[in-house]
Structure 1
Amino acid sequence: MSALFFFFLQQNVLGGDFFNKVCGHLKLLEKEYFGLEFRHHSGHYVWLELLKPLVKQIKCKFIVKFFPPDPGQLKRGLTRYLFALQIKQDLSNGSLTCNDNSAALLVSHILQSEIGDYDEELDYQHLEMKHYVPNQEYLDHKIIKLHKRHRGVSPADSDVQLLEVARKLDMYGIRPHSASDGEGMRINLAVTHSGVLVFQGNTKINTFSWAKIRKLSFKRKHFLIKLYDQASCKDTLEFAMASRDVCKSFWKMCVEYHAFFKLAEEPEPIHKTLLSCKGSRFRYR
């Protein structure tokens, strides 16, 4: 996803119009899974808002926004290819962490997709030139041994198999947001198709599924999760984040994920309390 393209736009173009131009250039039909991300003046990354002018939201990058539980079920080959590119990028920059066995298996599928069938000399040369995962030099032998098993697999099928391995990893689709819990312990919050997750480092320590959550909100820099009646714990959990802007950005991300994956499955009245927050008129469509 590092290719550079230039678009000539009118000064008052909306974010949504620009996003549609990008998707049109890529001939991408399943565009709902993707988004444009830009760096907010406060330093953190936020999603391009489609109904606001682009001039206020410049320097965007096109990446996957919504990670479905099974990306192999995406309908079009181009969409799966773009998802595979995202997995490669997350793997190379260290955001998709995993054990050595999983890392070697992922890279072996990438090799099959990029250079075709196993050739020991070519494999070693390619791995010397391109680095797909941190500390790759310690995994070369294991990667090549696994690549040997993929003979005859097409690039498109290799992408599908790459996604199949990636979706089972704890850090698949995770965009961690630093926070601290009620006891001051440093943790990371993330949102996925299943709900809100809590991590300590790269270890998942708690999951709040959408079915358990009664309401999500924020107050200043505090992110609040209100749960349905809990017999064994309090029904409101509070997490402190770096600033109000960071907290609001994560809340908006949760609203979008919930609406994208759950809103069509359940009656609308259930969601009015979950998606609304005093002090913000943000709604995801």
Structure 2
Amino acid sequence: RDTKGQFLLDHVCNHYNLLERDYFGIRYVDPEKQRHWLEPNKPVVRQMKSAHQPYTMCFRVKFYPNEPMKIREELTRYLLYLQLKRDIYHGRLLCPFAEAAYLGACTIQAELGDYDPEEHPSDYIRDFKLFPKQSLKLERKIMEIHKNELRGQYTSCAELNMLQRAHSLETYGVDPHPCKGNKRIHLLKWADVSKLKFEGKTFYVIGIQKEVSVCSFFSKGQNL
């Protein structure tokens, strides 16, 4: 009953013999479909009061490395690769067409190996659900890159190329939250932000610019 979140996280990491643990966390979803990170220093049961039983928690990447190429452990790289696949599929990692085609081709190369006309029919890309909106044009481009550019790459190499390309995208590591309404009030560049702070369920973004001093956002959930 008093088991804390850190114990559960350590248990999962020990099960997989995962050494680089600081990138990861445990996430759950409340009845309002809001995602929350399990806080390591608080009892698990107390945090899960708002969730439905039986409780479902997921092991996820929480902190995305700035330079994924410097990750030491192969398992850590693989888990980040799986997380990025999920981010792409759920529309969190936004990709221009060319980048989407390359990332998709890297995934296909990692899953299937080299293109083989005897094994891969003209619509084989359709068997893979890679993007929330997967057009025929995109599938054909993925097939073209897989066929002509990635031949000879081992699974680990294709996964590494995917990480290298994905981490340069603007929404890499971004954790979006739904907002009511679609009116954009302010657009602040990160360089123009001087301070971030929380007060209860209100999140403040304090800017350097005189004309935009403070933007405030109210969260219905317990945390952002």
- Residues 123/86 of structure 1: CA separation in 2 closer, same or farther (3 Å cut): farther
TM-score, length-scaled by structure 2: 0.83
Equivalence map 1:7-26=2 (5 Å): 11-26=1-16
Among all aligned residue pairs of Structure 1 and Structure 2, give the percentage whose two residues are the same amino acid.
31
Q: Who is 2:105 aligned against? A: 108
What letter matches 2:116 in structure 1?
D
1:224 equivalent to 2:222? Answer no
Once the two structures are TM-superposed, the CA of residue 93 in structure 1 deviates from its matched residue by 1.8
Q: Secondary structure at the match of 2:169?
A: coil
Equivalence map 1:131-146=2 (5 Å): 131-138=129-136, 139-146=138-145
Once the two structures are TM-superposed, the CA of residue 240 in structure 1 deviates from its matched residue by 2.5
Q: Given that residues 103 and 166 in structure 2 are in contact (C-alpha distance below 8 angstroms), is that contact kept between their aligned partners in structure 1?
A: yes
Alignment counterpart, residue 79 of structure 1, candidates 76, 79, 98 = 76
Q: Who is 1:240 aligned against? A: 217
Q: Given that residues 36 and 60 in structure 1 are in contact (C-alpha distance below 8 angstroms), is that contact kept between their aligned partners in structure 2?
A: yes
In 1, Cα distance between the equivalents of 2:212 and 2:134? 45
In 1, Cα distance between the equivalents of 2:122 and 2:14? 38
In 2, Cα distance between the equivalents of 1:235 and 1:212? 10
Of 217-226 and 19-28, more deviation after overlay is shown by 217-226
In 2, Cα distance between the equivalents of 1:219 and 1:134? 35
Once the two structures are TM-superposed, the CA of residue 179 in structure 1 deviates from its matched residue by 4.7
Once the two structures are TM-superposed, the CA of residue 72 in structure 1 deviates from its matched residue by 1.8
1:117 equivalent to 2:107? Answer no
Q: Given that residues 124 and 140 in structure 1 are in contact (C-alpha distance below 8 angstroms), is that contact kept between their aligned partners in structure 2?
A: no
- Residues 180/233 of structure 1: CA separation in 2 closer, same or farther (3 Å cut): farther
Alignment counterpart, residue 208 of structure 1, candidates 187, 190, 196 = 190
- Residues 168/136 of structure 1: CA separation in 2 closer, same or farther (3 Å cut): same
What letter matches 2:206 in structure 1?
K
Alignment counterpart, residue 98 of structure 1, candidates 95, 100, 103 = 95
Q: Given that residues 14 and 52 in structure 1 are in contact (C-alpha distance below 8 angstroms), is that contact kept between their aligned partners in structure 2?
A: yes
Q: Structure 1: give runs of 5+ residues left out of the alignment.
A: 1-10, 188-197, 199-204, 251-285
In 1, Cα distance between the equivalents of 2:201 and 2:42? 24
Once the two structures are superposed, residues 226-266 of structure 1 have per-residue CA deviations (whole angstroms, 9 ceiling, x without a partner) of 34xx4x425731223343x45xx22xxxxxxxxxxxxxxxx
Equivalence map 1:1-285=2 (5 Å): 11-40=1-30, 43-56=33-46, 57=48, 58-120=55-117, 121-122=119-120, 124=122, 126-138=124-136, 139-148=138-147, 149-179=149-179, 185-186=183-184, 205-209=187-191, 212-213=193-194, 215-227=195-207, 230=208, 232-234=209-211, 236-243=213-220, 245-246=221-222, 249-250=223-224
RMSD: 2.6
- Residues 86/62 of structure 1: CA separation in 2 closer, same or farther (3 Å cut): same
Q: Secondary structure at the match of 2:22?
A: helix
Once the two structures are TM-superposed, the CA of residue 55 in structure 1 deviates from its matched residue by 2.1
- Residues 48/119 of structure 1: CA separation in 2 closer, same or farther (3 Å cut): same
- Residues 14/186 of structure 1: CA separation in 2 closer, same or farther (3 Å cut): same
More helix per residue: 1
What letter matches 2:23 in structure 1?
Y
- Residues 80/123 of structure 1: CA separation in 2 closer, same or farther (3 Å cut): farther
Q: How many residues align?
A: 214
- Residues 43/88 of structure 1: CA separation in 2 closer, same or farther (3 Å cut): closer
